[in-house]
Amino acid sequence: MGLLKKGILILLLPLFAFTIAHKFYISVTNVDYSEKDDALQITTRIFLDDLNAVLHERYGIEAKLGTKNETELDREYFEKYLRAKFTVTTNGELKKYNILGKKYDTDMIIFYLEVPKVNLPQLNSITIENELLTDLYDEQQNVVHFKIKGKKKSFVLLKSDTKGMLNL
């Protein structure tokens, strides 16, 4: 009887291994130049549950971004966190960016940023520092895709390496 139980356990064990979902910790950022607006336009996608969790961990609030219970305070802390963890530098100079808006897509937040008055002919380098969620998840990966002046370059930013630079 003991042998039968062990045999059944050995057969069922692999099935249990596939029932545990592996969580991915990733964001994707696209950086483009708009000739019409003379601006860097940045779009970032990040998982809502992770963002709400980091706002709770960092600021002690029960953020409800992306729900009907989202508050103005949630949005204020989101912006505070974003500005602390996401920076844009051109030619070695830290740039201010405008938050143009955000939208929700199923379990993700997509937010839109713009760095105005870039002066493309004078632009030699763009650096994105993206530390979003790296303070909560060691395995967080922040992917950045640049597409400027016909150059394309992508980076996978990690907790240990949070900056990606495109030289033009």
What is the rounded end-to-end Cα distance, in angstroms, of the chain?
Answer: 72
Q: CA-CA distance, 112 to 89, in Å (whole number)?
A: 17
Q: CA-CA distance, 113 to 153, in Å (whole number)?
A: 19
Q: pLDDT by residue (tens digit) across 19-38?
A: 444 477 899 999 999 999 99
Question: How is residue 140 written in tokens?
Answer: 């967080």
Q: What is the pLDDT of residue 19?
A: 43
Kindly report the pTM of this predicted structure: 0.84
Q: In the sheet that 163-167 helps form, which strands lie side by side, from edge to edge?
A: 93-95, 86-90, 125-130, 163-167
Q: With the CA atoms of 46, 48, 54 and 57 taken in that order, what torsion angle do they form, in degrees rounded to the nearest 10?
A: -170
Burial 123-133 (b: 16+ CB within 10 A, else e): beebbbbbbbb
Q: pLDDT by residue (tens digit) across 97-129?
A: 999 999 999 899 999 999 999 988 999 999 999
Contact 42, 112 (CB under 8 A): yes
Contact 75, 66 (CB under 8 A): no
Kindly tell me if the per-residue pLDDT of 9 is higher than 80. no
Q: pLDDT by residue (tens digit) across 64-101?
A: 999 999 999 999 999 999 999 999 999 999 999 999 99
